[in-house]
Amino acid sequence: MTDYFAGEIAERYDETSAAMFAPDAVDPVVDVLAALAGGGRALEFAIGTGRIALPLAARGVEVAGIELSADMVEQLRAKEGGATLDVTLGSFSDTRVDGSFALVYLVFNTIGNVTTQAEQVATFRNAAAHLAPGGHFVIEVGVPELRRLPPGQNTLVFEAREGKWGIDEYDFVDQGLVSHHFEEREDGHVERTSMPFRYAFPAEYDLMAELAGLALHARWADWHRSPFTGESTKHISIWQKP
């Protein structure tokens, strides 16, 4: 895997993703994860700056993490409670940590940052290897918006507001996309960052889980456990280890 969150991106991550740090975005996630963890340990793949790990730990769950970006971990360590979390630097596709866990989770579309099918399968297998029997693996990821694309078009605007906009560029052959983010700074300069993803539909993730020895436990449209339908724009999928 490639570290796309180094330097200034890590320093400004909480600021540029501020909406995802709001209580109405974080609390439902933590509610679900705390219930799944029960009295057991939780492992976050891509723990980042601690958006979910810190409030989950505050609920009394013992949380560990794997993170590729040392700069993101530095931001985490600077926060209250961040220095106490057990974080291992490495790719969550193949990095192992000691012990077993009741819960492994990977949220906010981060499975898509794994840009090959083989590495995505490896991620599921690594999650399964960390789980105790009966444990759960959870991902949160968007549903590809292909039906919104008219024939002959491979780009789609996903955000458009004052000073900030974003465009997804799809590669239909390799199931890839690049998200281009544009932000106008105070001096009028427009900053562009681009990040590659590999997209997949829920059925493909289910097959990856099966290859890892996991079985589908639940799938929802959001963290409020709304039913997943053909109109859903993302899914929360939970697989269980026998």
Q: Are 156 and 168 in contact (CB under 8 A)?
A: yes
Evaluate if residue 73 carries a pLDDT over 90.
yes
Per the rule left: phi > 0, alpha: psi between -120 and 50, beta: everything else, 142 is beta
Over residues 27-56, the mean pLDDT reads: 99
* Closest to 54 measured CA to CA, from 24, 84, 74: 84
Tens of pLDDT, residue by residue over 201-242, are 999 999 999 999 999 999 999 999 999 999 999 999 999 999
Evaluate if residue 188 carries a pLDDT over 90.
no
Name the percent of the chain lying above pLDDT 90: 96
- The pLDDT value recorded for residue 1 is 87
- The pLDDT value recorded for residue 185 is 87
Contacts of 153 (CB under 8 A, 6+ apart): none
Over residues 96-118, the mean pLDDT reads: 98
